[in-house]
C-alpha cells in the first residue's frame, strides 16, 4: 500500500468523522430544542473541517490536451518574445487574451484537431496500461 493511498484514505476517514460528529451535534440540538445554537456548538467542539486535498498519483497519466493547448504551446513563445521587445515586461493575462482571440479567429484548426486526436489515443492507451 502506497503512502499516497494511505494519505487519501486518511482524508476520507477524517471527512467521514467530521460529518458524523456534526450530525450527532445536530441531532442533540434538535432533541434538546436548541437548534439556534447548532452552529455555535459545532464550532466549539469540532472547529472548522480540515481543508486538505487528495494527492494525485504521480504514475497516473496526464489527460489529453485540447487543440487550443497545442495552439498555445506553438504560438506563446513568439508572442512572449514580441511582448518583451515592445514592453520589456511580459503580461501573462494580455498574452492569454491575445491567444484566445487568435484561436477564435483561426479558420483552419485541422492541424490542432489532429494533434488532439492523437493525444486522446495516447491517453487511452496510457490509462489502459495504468489500470492493468
Per-state percent for the chain, helix, strand, coil, to nearest 5: 75, 0, 25
Name residue, grid cell 469540532: 46
CA angle 76, 81, 85 (to 5 degrees): 145
Residue 109 DSSP class: -
**Among candidate residues 61, 62, 63, 73, the one with its CA nearest the CA of residue 111:** 73
pLDDT for res 88:
82
Average pLDDT in the 7-13 region?
89
pLDDT in tens, 18-72: 999 999 999 999 999 999 999 999 999 998 888 888 888 888 999 999 999 999 9
Q: Where are the domains of the chain?
A: 3-46, 67-131
Instruction: Please say if the pLDDT value at position 7 is more than 90.
Output: no
12 alpha-carbon distance from chain centroid:
18
Percent of the chain at pLDDT exceeding 90: 69
Instruction: Please say if the pLDDT value at position 95 is more than 80.
Output: yes
The whole-angstrom separation of Cα 38 and Cα 30 is 9
Amino acid at each position: 500500500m502506497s503512502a499516497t493511498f494511505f494519505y487519501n484514505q486518511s482524508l476520507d476517514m477524517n471527512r467521514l468523522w467530521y460529518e458524523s460528529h456534526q450530525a450527532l451535534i445536530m441531532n442533540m440540538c434538535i432533541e434538546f430544542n436548541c437548534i439556534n445554537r447548532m452552529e455555535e456548538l459545532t464550532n466549539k467542539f469540532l472547529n472548522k473541517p480540515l481543508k486538505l486535498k487528495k494527492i494525485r498519483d504521480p504514475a497516473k497519466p496526464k489527460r489529453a490536451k485540447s487543440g487550443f493547448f497545442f495552439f498555445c504551446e506553438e504560438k506563446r513563445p513568439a508572442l512572449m518574445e514580441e511582448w518583451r521587445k515592445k514592453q520589456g515586461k511580459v503580461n501573462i493575462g494580455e498574452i492569454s487574451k491575445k491567444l484566445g482571440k487568435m484561436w477564435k479567429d483561426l479558420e483552419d484548426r485541422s492541424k490542432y484537431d489532429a494533434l488532439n486526436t492523437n493525444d486522446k489515443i495516447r491517453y487511452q492507451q496510457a490509462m489502459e496500461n495504468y489500470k492493468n
